[in-house]
Amino acid sequence: MKVWARDGSKTWVLIHVEIQGEAERAFAERMYVYHYRLFDRYRVDVVSPGC
């Protein structure tokens, strides 16, 4: 969704939630793919927890 800061600037907030019952080997790669696809499509900065 788009949100506006107090200074009037527009930014996006994208929330991705996954519920996992156990560790997954491919998780880091999947998060990387989500990250670059969002950047490639929308050309916005993407920040993920732990990055």
With tokens 């732990």, the residue in question is 50
Question: Considering the domain boundaries, does residue 16 fall inside one?
Answer: no
User: Residue 45: pLDDT above 70?
Assistant: yes
Binned at pLDDT 50, 70 and 90, residue 50 comes out as low
Give me the torsion for CA of 14, 46, 41, 7, rounded to 10°. Answer: 70
Which has more confidence, 41 or 2?
A: 41
Question: Given a cut of 90, is residue 48 above it in pLDDT?
Answer: no
In this structure, is residue 27 part of a structural domain?
yes
Query: What is the distance between the terminal CA atoms of the chain, rounded to a whole angstrom?
Result: 21
Domain that holds residue 36: 23-51
On whether residue 38 sits in a domain, the answer given is yes
Phi, psi of 4 (to 5 degrees): -115, 135
Q: Alpha helices of the chain — where are they, by DSSP H?
A: 27-42
Which residue from 9, 22, 14 is spatially nearest to 38, judged by alpha carbons?
Answer: 14
Chain segment 5-25, per-residue pLDDT in tens: 899 998 888 777 778 888 889
Does the pLDDT at position 43 exceed 80?
A: yes
Q: Is the pTM of this model over 0.75?
A: no
In a domain, 36, yes or no: yes
